[in-house]
Amino acid sequence: MYQRTAGFYKMDAAKIGRGWHEMGPIRPPSEGRDASLLLRVTRNCPWNRCEFCATYKNERYSVRTVDEVKADLEVVQGLAEELRSASWRLGFAGAVGEEIVLAVINSNPEIYSRQHNDAELVHARLHSLANVANWLATGAKTVFLQDGNSPQIRTVDLVAVLNYIKEMFPAVERITSYARSKTIARKSFEEILQLRQAGLSRLHIGLESGCNEVLMAVKKGVTAEEHVMAGKKTKEAGITLSEYLMPGLGGKKWSEKHALESARVLSEIDPDFIRLRTLIPRRGTPLYERMLAGEFEPLTEDEMVEEIGLFVENLDCHAYLVSDQMSNLLWEVEGRLPEDKPKILATIRNYLQMPLSARLKVQLERRLSSYLAVYGQLAEKVAAKVELAAESLQKEAPDAPGKVKDALDALKQAFI
């Protein structure tokens, strides 16, 4: 991998300090694959009790000091300068691509080689270099604040971080973060406005549901009313708002109410984006345990599509609806509301009106292609189940629905 290089470039070690900046585990897909600079402001999630979420389980929440985050930004600035000057020196006119990254790595073994450093440090430096390089390659315009709920820290501290980002990188156009509705609802409007004025331009909020029974059952720690309050405050302050809805979170018991109440709450908030994240109960989570104990009855693929249809039908807002995650079966459920509502509903209706065998085929093909997009090839056990399902489907055997379900369960567990 490190064979092909554009030439030699010795880095100025003083400029890049320790050579890495801290990053958390996740960012929304809309922040692009590494296109945003990832900047860790807090570690993990201060709530960490949602029954369906495994992202930060067993990880302790902590706040990074403003000085720590500023120090990271200085490292990023040093790396960015070094990558750009390597590019100019090696004849790439400032453009930063794979050749430049490889040249920098190969020319600086005392920084990037395991012969000179422990493996963890090398990993952190390479990870950081890749994030900064990808960020530069895509114009260095967006920054994503990690982890689960950055506005949890004192507003004055977050404003200081935002100001420093702008000071260090005046060309940055968008700074975004995950947030909990509870946190935003608790802050005053003036505080949210201060964040906006300091440069916070987009919040990603996990609504999950607008139904209080569902929110309570999954221990979301927020009410539908607080969701509305937080959403409206965010929009009023001029911050772009992305709300995440989790179809299926109410199981069979609350499916209808989950769809109707979520539509009501999101219509009231009128966010800029609604992003669908279909529930796939994840091993090791309390919800998964409840499902095994028979206390939570998950929806089938078809019931899930019906629930989304009911939700969209009752939605009355101007959001852009997106299915940008592989947990969703029908990726084409997407469009600007209200004008694309008929098109979205037609997509859902067309799917539901297909014969059972055709629907099962769609389910198997879609889940398989999502799996392959992540892993490239099927694990042995999963492959066996997929083969059995495909065979049953081809023969139109009566056990085809059961076999397809087994295959889907195996495929879905792998990519969540």
Task: Please report whether residue 359 would count as binding ligand SF4 according to CB under 6 A.
Answer: no
Distance from C-alpha of 360 to C-alpha of 401, rounded to nearest angstrom: 7
Distance from C-alpha of 149 to C-alpha of 179, rounded to nearest angstrom: 4
Nearest approach, Cβ of residue 286 and ligand SF4 (Å): 11
Draw the binding track, 175-204, toward ligand SF4 (x: CB under 6 A; -: no contact). -----x------------------------
Q: According to CB under 6 A, which one of 19, 24, 151, 206 is a site residue for ligand SF4?
A: 206
**Are 306 and 353 in contact, with CB atoms under 8 Å apart?**
no
What is the enclosing helix (H) or strand (E) of 348?
helix 341-352
Pick the stretch among 40-48, 331-339, 367-375, 389-397 that binds ligand SF4 (CB under 6 A).
40-48
Nearest approach, Cβ of residue 23 and ligand SF4 (Å): 16
**Are 69 and 39 in contact, with CB atoms under 8 Å apart?**
yes
Pick the stretch among 11-19, 48-56, 235-243, 386-394 that binds ligand SF4 (CB under 6 A).
48-56
Q: Which two tokens stand for residue 68?
A: 């720590």
Task: Please report whether residue 41 would count as binding ligand SF4 according to CB under 6 A.
Answer: no
Task: Please report whether residue 309 would count as binding ligand SF4 according to CB under 6 A.
Answer: no
Task: Please report whether residue 47 would count as binding ligand SF4 according to CB under 6 A.
Answer: yes
Q: According to CB under 6 A, which one of 6, 16, 41, 53 is a site residue for ligand SF4?
A: 53
Q: According to CB under 6 A, which one of 30, 55, 117, 413 is a site residue for ligand SF4?
A: 55
Nearest approach, Cβ of residue 180 and ligand SF4 (Å): 5
Task: Please report whether residue 151 would count as binding ligand SF4 according to CB under 6 A.
Answer: no
- CB closer to ligand SF4, 266 vs 386: 266
What is the enclosing helix (H) or strand (E) of 155?
helix 155-168
In this structure, the number of other CB atoms found within 10 A of the CB of residue 336 comes to 13
Pick the stretch among 46-54, 168-176, 266-274, 314-322 that binds ligand SF4 (CB under 6 A).
46-54
Q: According to CB under 6 A, which one of 11, 41, 50, 322 is a site residue for ligand SF4?
A: 50
29 prior amide bond cis, ω within 30: no
Task: Please report whether residue 288 would count as binding ligand SF4 according to CB under 6 A.
Answer: no
- CB closer to ligand SF4, 164 vs 415: 415
Pick the stretch among 42-50, 82-90, 192-200, 389-397 that binds ligand SF4 (CB under 6 A).
42-50
Task: Please report whether residue 144 would count as binding ligand SF4 according to CB under 6 A.
Answer: no
**Residue 130 burial (C-beta neighbours within 10 Å; 0-12, 13-18, 19+):** middle
- CB closer to ligand SF4, 61 vs 92: 61
Pick the stretch among 45-53, 101-109, 184-192, 278-286 that binds ligand SF4 (CB under 6 A).
45-53
Distance from C-alpha of 55 to C-alpha of 48, rounded to nearest angstrom: 9
The dihedral formed by the CA atoms of 100, 101, 104 and 106, expressed in degrees to the nearest 10: -110
Nearest approach, Cβ of residue 351 and ligand SF4 (Å): 28
Distance from C-alpha of 50 to C-alpha of 192, rounded to nearest angstrom: 25
Residue type, 286: P
Please give the backbone phi and psi of residue 82, each rounded to the nearest 5 degrees, phi first: -65, -40
Query: What is the secondary structure of 39-104 as a DSSP string?
Result: EESEES-SS---TT--TTTT---EEPPHHHHHHHHHHHHHHHHHHHHHHHHTTSTT---HHHHHHH
- By CB under 6 A, name the binding residues for ligand SF4: 45, 47-48, 50, 53, 55-56, 148, 180, 206
